[in-house]
Amino acid sequence: MSQYETLIVEQREGGVTLITLNRPQALNALNSQVLSELIAALEAFDADASQGCAVLTGSAKAFAAGADIKEMQAMDFAAMYGTNHFGGYDRVTATRKPVIAAVAGYALGGGCELAMMCDFILAADTAKFGQPEIKLAVSPGMGGSQRLARAVGKAKAMEMCLTGRMMDAAEAERAGLVSRIVPADDLVEEAVKTAATIAGMAPLAVKANKEMVNAAFETGLTQGVAFERRLFHGLFGTADQKEGMAAFVEKRPGNWTGR
C-alpha cells in the first residue's frame, strides 16, 4: 500500500519514478498535505541511487487546478506571511535529479506553477495552462509570475496574469512553455519513456546538465558560460566520462557507475 494519501508513487522499469497527484475530488488542488507528501516523495526519489528521472503527472482532467482555495480562504496576512506559505515549494525545485511534468487537462494557478517548477513540461493535446488568481483578487504565489515570464516572455505572461486567460497546448508549445505535445492517451507512457532515456545517461552528467541549464535563469551570460565550463571540466574527473568516450570509440553502449 502506498505511504501517501494524495499521491500515487510507482517505480517503473529503467530507473523512472512516476508520481501521480491523486485528489480527484478537488481536481488535484494543492493543499498542505499534497506539498508535504510531494516533498517526501521527491526527497526519497533523489536519495535512491536506483532512480534516475521522475515524472510528475495528474489526471486526464487536471494536472492540478491550483492551490487549494478552500484551504486558503480564511487565511490572513499574518498566517500567510508569518508561515511563509508556499515557501515549501523551494524544496520541490531543490530536487537534483530531473523531474518531467506530464500535463493533461487543467494546469491552473499553482498547478501551472508546479509544472513550471519541473525541468520541462510534456503536454497532452488537452492541456490548458493559466494563472487565474487575479479572478480571486490575488496573484501567483509559487513563482508563476517569474517562471511564466521567463518561459513565454512578458506579453503573454502579463496578459495571462492580468486576465486569467488560459493557453491551450498548441499556444503553449509555440510560446516555449512546453517541450512537446503528445496525444492525451499516450502522455504518461511517452513521459515515462523520455524519463527512461534520461535515467539511462551517466548520473553525474545528468545532474550537471540540469544544474547548468537552470543557471541560465539565475545568472548573466558570461557568468553562466563560465559556470557551464567549470562543470564541463569537472566531468572529466569522472570515471563515467572515460567510460562514455571509450564506449563511443569502441562502438558499444556505455556502462555507467555513477562515479
Enumerate the active-site residues: 67, 110, 113, 133
57 or 209: whose CB is closer to ligand CAA?
57
Distance separating alpha carbons of residues 101 and 222, to the nearest angstrom:
30
Residue from 37, 68, 119, 173 that binds ligand CAA (CB under 6 A)? 68
- What HEC string does 211-233 produce? HHHHHCCCCCHHHHHHHHHHHHH
Residue from 133, 173, 190, 228 that binds ligand CAA (CB under 6 A)? 133
Residue from 98, 109, 203, 244 that binds ligand CAA (CB under 6 A)? 109
Q: How far is the CB of 238 from ligand CAA (least distance, A)?
A: 39
Cell 574527473: give the residue: 237
Q: Which of 198, 189, 129 is nearest to 157 (CA)?
A: 129
Which DSSP string corresponds to 26-81?
A: GTT-B-HHHHHHHHHHHHHHHH-TT--EEEEE--SSEEE--B-HHHHTT--HHHHH
Q: Which stretch binds ligand CAA (CB under 6 A): 74-82, 96-104, 128-136, 205-213?
A: 128-136
Residue from 39, 40, 69, 149 that binds ligand CAA (CB under 6 A)? 69
Binding site for ligand CAA (CB under 6 A): 26-27, 29, 65-70, 86, 106, 108-110, 113, 132-133, 136, 140-142, 144
